[in-house]
Chain A
Amino acid sequence: MPNATPGSLVAFADAAPAPLAPWAPGRLVALFRGDLTAALAAVTLVVIALAALLAPWIAPFDPAQTFDIAARTQPPSATHWLGTDQLSRDLLSRLLYGARLSLGISVLAVTVAMVIGTAWGAVAGYAGGWVDRVLMQVVDAGLAIPRILLLLGVVALWGTLSMPALVLVLGLTGWFTASRLVRAEVRATRERDFAVAARATGATPLRVLVRQVLPHALTTILVAATLGVGQVVIVEAGLSFLGYGVAPPAASWGSLIREGRALLGTAWWMSVFPGVGLAATVLAINVLGDRLRRVLGGQQLHAP
């Protein structure tokens, strides 16, 4: 018989949001209610991601396959929907495989960055004192150096990088902001009564951090990761465009744009399509990330 709603009317009038775990069912629908742009962005992203994932199966041709000379540098046609490049390779196929590389590298790099950043920020935020100061000074140093310069410096020293190395380098240069964000969340949550209660129960600091505090940083991490992918896609594209990213014959979108640069006037499709793909992806990611941040802000999701 005890009723199950908070008595305060004001809480009710605000439709007290139910804090759903990010993986609770119904969350996705709730996320996009009323926001057409975000829904569109999500759909776009899903399409691109699927295309990237299923590239080996849906690409019409082998991206490295060449045809006869007559097929070189052809504009979009019935056989080659997006045209061909100067070596008569099908652009659509290259684009799909390029998506795999661009997105794959970015997602992996962001994962690396998030793992390092979260751990770093969590320890700094929870420990406080001199540990916090030292850890954060490293972060400050890292943030002071422009990322591209850092990357170019690395490349200058080591030449072209293998894929794993590229992922690692991108990840290692991108965790600083995440650590700041996580640290802030951890510091705030650490003082809340339920975290103190967990300490009072006798839980080890690690347990309190992982079980009580970090879940509250999840939404921040999620938003940061989403937006981070967008950033890394561009950084990777930039590197590849400059010739320092993935090594040929593998090509990410940045490399494709690079290859088409010289022929921009005559074979515009070589750069434009990858460019559009890049722009669409990053735009969609940013819109989505922004929507996530607004909806998830305050660590609460509204129940549908």
Chain B
Amino acid sequence: MSARAVPPIAAAAPGAVVPGTLADPLLSIRRLTKHFPVRTGLFGRATGQVRAVDGVSLDVGHAETLGIVGESGCGKTTLGRTILRLIEPTEGDIRFDGVDVLSLQGKAMRAMRRKMQIIFQDPFSSLNPRMTIGATVREGLTVHRIAEGAAADQRVRQLLEEVGLRGEYATKYPHEFSGGQRQRVGIARALAVEPKFIVCDEPVSALDVSVQAQVINLLRDLQRDRGLAYLFIAHDLSVVEHMANRVAVMYLGRIVEFASAEALYKEPLMPYTQALLSAVPVPDPVTKRQRIVLAGDVPSPANPPSGCVFHPRCHHPARDAACMRIVPPLEEKAPGHWVACIKQPPTSVSWDAQRQAGATSEPARHLPVVQPAS
């Protein structure tokens, strides 16, 4: 095996394959990329890149919930904010409701923002502590001239009630509320402008279990009543499975697996997903399942491993030198189920090509039982 650095073989450009294209998507992102420069040295020269989001392509349908799952450093939060142009993408396309979002400027962009909103993770920093919750919810109404004066007050009260709070709370300040209640205010704020699409960035991660359930139910009810589409970002797999129709698993800025929620949880093909699922503690002391404990840490997005970004921690029995050299393409290995792994058949990366890259083990299906039997 050669020790000198050999450039990796990319079987396809990142983001070139779009998992789960829809005929009539609400949101369409292609090859979305966000790199943050790493500045070091006296003059702050850019010496490297943090590839927070590295070529992500997706479609989100009307009134669907697309789940994004991953751990810290996988880029899911950056993805959510980049889609809304709260962070400007380095590359890529975003089409919302048929409109090219990246071409909009100023007023037009601000008008577009009505349709796409966001809910934040931390209920303690997502509300301005110096504004009453009524004023916070009202901002959207004022900015887009949806309502003013008494009509606006009325609307604010209605919104608060819709999310399960009392209308008269509008004059209170955030510190007077619990985490769950503040999260509801955040939802009311997002709803005020009547969006079609909401990026839910870990909306329940900071909440207690009993409060989580309340907010999850609320989000589902709102979706049903208003026909909202969600991009549901979370690291808690149980919550994502509960909420989402289709799920994308992200690792180091890329999508490594994409499938319907049911398929993903029943038959996770990507070794990372398998490990992720097996790591979730199950509130049932009796179940037997295979625990895959990954070795090592999540690598830094500033210095991703070559080839398959997961290869250093991968437990697939056929993992070998080819994994270090070939960047696996995202391939549809079952109907509606895309996976980026050259060792899970079927794969378009031929055995010959793998052998040329140093492979020693043939691809073979590896599907450990990582879930308790339901």
In-complex A–B contact (CB below 8 Å): yes
List residues of A whose CB falls within 8 A of some B CB.
Answer: 2-7, 16, 18-19, 21, 192-204, 207, 211-212, 215-216, 299-300
Q: What residues of chain A lie closer than 8 Å to B84, measured between beta carbons?
A: 200
How far does the alpha carbon of A3 sit from the alpha carbon of B177 in the complex, in Å?
A: 8
Known: A7-B179, A19-B175. 7 other contacts (CB 8 A): A2-B166, A2-B178, A192-B125, A194-B125, A197-B126, A200-B117, A216-B130
Q: A194-B125, A200-B84 are in contact. Are A7 and B140 (CB under 8 A)?
A: no
How far does the alpha carbon of A19 sit from the alpha carbon of B178 in the complex, in Å?
A: 16
Q: A2-B181, A19-B129, A196-B86 are in contact. Are A201 and B175 (CB under 8 A)?
A: no
How far does the alpha carbon of A200 sit from the alpha carbon of B126 in the complex, in Å?
A: 12
Find out whether the CB atom of A194 lies under 8 angstroms from the CB atom of B127.
yes
How far does the alpha carbon of A300 sit from the alpha carbon of B208 in the complex, in Å?
A: 26
> A5, A193, A201: which contacts B122 (Cβ < 8 A)?
A193
Q: What residues of chain A lie closer than 8 Å to B166, measured between beta carbons?
A: 2
Q: Does residue B155 face the partner (Cβ distance < 8 Å to A)?
A: no
> A200, A211, A299: which contacts B113 (Cβ < 8 A)?
A200
Q: A4-B176, A19-B173, A19-B175 are in contact. Are A207 and B143 (CB under 8 A)?
A: yes
Q: Does residue B193 face the partner (Cβ distance < 8 Å to A)?
A: yes
Q: What residues of chain A lie closer than 8 Å to B125, measured between beta carbons?
A: 192-194
Q: Does residue B111 face the partner (Cβ distance < 8 Å to A)?
A: yes
The main secondary structure of chain B at its interface with chain A is loop
List 5 tightest A-B contacts by C-beta distance, closest first: A202-B113, A193-B126, A202-B110, A194-B128, A201-B140
Q: Which size class do B's interface residues fall under?
A: 35 or more
Find out whether the CB atom of A197 lies under 8 angstroms from the CB atom of B118.
yes
Most buried by A among B113, B129, B131, B208: B129
Q: What residues of chain A lie closer than 8 Å to B144, measured between beta carbons?
A: 202
CB distance from A298 to the nearest CB of B (A): 11
**A203 (CB) vs chain B CBs: closest residue:** B143
CB distance from A135 to the nearest CB of B (A): 18
Find out whether the CB atom of B130 lies under 8 angstroms from the CB atom of A4.
no
How far does the alpha carbon of A5 sit from the alpha carbon of B117 in the complex, in Å?
A: 28
Q: What residues of chain A lie closer than 8 Å to B136, measured between beta carbons?
A: 194
How far does the alpha carbon of A216 sit from the alpha carbon of B176 in the complex, in Å?
A: 19
Find out whether the CB atom of B193 lies under 8 angstroms from the CB atom of A202.
yes
Find out whether the CB atom of B178 lies under 8 angstroms from the CB atom of A201.
no
CB distance from A260 to the nearest CB of B (A): 49
Find out whether the CB atom of A200 lies under 8 angstroms from the CB atom of B177.
no
CB distance from B340 to the nearest CB of A (A): 31
CB distance from B144 to the nearest CB of A (A): 6
> B111, B117, B173, B186: which contacts A18 (Cβ < 8 A)?
B173
How far does the alpha carbon of A207 sit from the alpha carbon of B208 in the complex, in Å?
A: 34
**B109 (CB) vs chain A CBs: closest residue:** A202
Q: What residues of chain B lie closer than 8 Å to A7, measured between beta carbons?
A: 178-179, 208
Q: What residues of chain A lie closer than 8 Å to B192, measured between beta carbons?
A: 201
Most buried by B among A200, A215, A299, A300: A200
Find out whether the CB atom of B178 lies under 8 angstroms from the CB atom of A3.
yes
> B120, B129, B176: which contacts A197 (Cβ < 8 A)?
B120
**A218 (CB) vs chain B CBs: closest residue:** B130
How far does the alpha carbon of A18 sit from the alpha carbon of B120 in the complex, in Å?
A: 22
